[in-house]
């Protein structure tokens, strides 16, 4: 497989099945610096939108991938190493992708810029939007998302409500819970009221399952998540593990591919095996080599072991 600069995967996604990731901003530019972020600390916290990477090159890579790589994918997902709506040409990138394929386009966003009309317009042609909203009070918002100073939680909520009023396709709202941070009774009550205003098609609740940016962050138990699910009502689901038949990768530099995927986010053995379509015994050998070579490390979180890159700033892969 050719080595791509802006594409990664397909990676297993708990919501988007086999998803080809498209990285619109360099690591790690974001409007937030979430305590649970799985891709590390924000290096540039900003609200400035610009063409962080050339859109023509992204579209060229997408076209090349679709023509040359014979891998089945369920979604093309704009996400990656930061906040994708910071890319000022995300609208034309979505249109460019849709002009060459019928594979649905998803945007995984923190939703923070939806209060800007230009961002709402840019996302109108995507097939599904997956925004997050982890807090509804200023205090909890500052604690969990650590946003750029000029951003208020009221503006974020209003942006989501306004976007819903003009967007006719699917919105899957994700709320990630960290124990003792955004799971208080009052916050949950206000969250429920806000969700009723946003009217998402689904509410996906989640907790920390991958190594977080801050080590002190801890997950909710399954029982606690079930309780919140019951409280939020019908359209709420707890995000479950991805599970599909393995596909076979015909060729490619598998070690490089593993490194490239892990550079975006740490994954468990099982996630990697599913995403790469590799048998576990095969994958085990590659991981053992990468561990031996000091390229990756393993870390336990909860009951699972996660693999992560040792130096994400190394751009050589």
42 interacts with ligand SF4 by CB under 6 A: yes
82 interacts with ligand SF4 by CB under 6 A: yes
80 interacts with ligand SF4 by CB under 6 A: no
From the list 7-15, 32-40, 232-240, 298-306, the region that binds ligand SF4 by CB under 6 A is: 32-40
Among 13, 33, 77, 268, binds ligand SF4 (CB under 6 A): 33
Interacting positions 107-166 with ligand SF4 (CB under 6 A): 110
Q: How far is the CB of 183 from ligand SF4 (least distance, A)?
A: 17
Size of the site for ligand SF4 (CB under 6 A): 10
- The pairing of beta strand 202-207 with beta strand 105-109: unpaired
Q: How far apart are CA 55 and CA 110, in angstroms?
A: 21
30 interacts with ligand SF4 by CB under 6 A: yes
Token pair for 30? 């974001």
Half-sphere exposure of 82 (CA within 13 A, CB side): 25
Q: How far is the CB of 23 from ligand SF4 (least distance, A)?
A: 11
Among 23, 69, 83, 187, binds ligand SF4 (CB under 6 A): 83
Among 11, 22, 24, 34, binds ligand SF4 (CB under 6 A): 34
77 interacts with ligand SF4 by CB under 6 A: no
Half-sphere exposure of 108 (CA within 13 A, CB side): 22
Q: How far apart are CA 303 and CA 266, in angstroms?
A: 15
Judged by the rule CB under 6 A, the positions of this chain that interact with ligand SF4 are 30, 32-34, 37, 39, 42, 82-83, 110
């Amino acid at each position: 497989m050719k080595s791509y600069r802006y594409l990664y995967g397909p990676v297993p996604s708990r919501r988007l099945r086999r998803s080809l990731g498209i990285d619109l901003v360099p690591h790690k530019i974001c409007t937030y610096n979430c305590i649970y972020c799985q891709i590390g600390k924000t290096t540039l916290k900003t609200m400035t939108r610009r063409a962080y990477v050339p859109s023509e090159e992204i579209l060229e890579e997408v076209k090349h991938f679709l023509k040359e790589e014979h891998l089945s994918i369920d979604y093309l997902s704009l996400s990656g190493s930061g906040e994708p709506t910071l890319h000022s040409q995300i609208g034309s990138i979505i249109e460019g992708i849709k002009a060459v394929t019928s594979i649905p386009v998803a945007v995984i966003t923190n939703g923070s810029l939806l209060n800007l009309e230009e961002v709402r317009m840019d996302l109108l042609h995507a097939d599904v939007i997956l925004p997050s909203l982890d807090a509804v009070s200023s205090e909890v918002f500052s604690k969990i998302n650590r946003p750029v100073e000029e951003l208020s939680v009221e503006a974020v909520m209003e942006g989501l409500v306004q976007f819903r009023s003009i967007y006719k396709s699917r919105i899957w709202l994700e709320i990630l819970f960290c124990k003792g941070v955004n799971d208080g009774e009052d916050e949950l009550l206000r969250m429920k009221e806000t969700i009723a205003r946003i009217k998402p098609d689904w509410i996906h609740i989640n907790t920390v399952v991958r190594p977080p940016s801050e080590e002190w962050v801890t997950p909710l138990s399954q029982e606690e998540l079930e309780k919140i699910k019951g409280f939020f009502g019908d359209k709420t689901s707890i995000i479950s593990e991805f599970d599909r038949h393995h596909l076979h990768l015909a060729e490619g530099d598998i070690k490089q591919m593993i490194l490239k995927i892990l550079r975006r986010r740490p994954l468990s053995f099982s996630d990697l095996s599913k995403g790469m379509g590799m048998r576990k015994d095969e994958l085990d050998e590659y991981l053992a080599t990468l561990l031996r070579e000091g390229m990756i490390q393993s870390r336990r979180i909860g009951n699972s072991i996660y693999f992560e890159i040792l130096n994400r700033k190394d751009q050589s892969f």
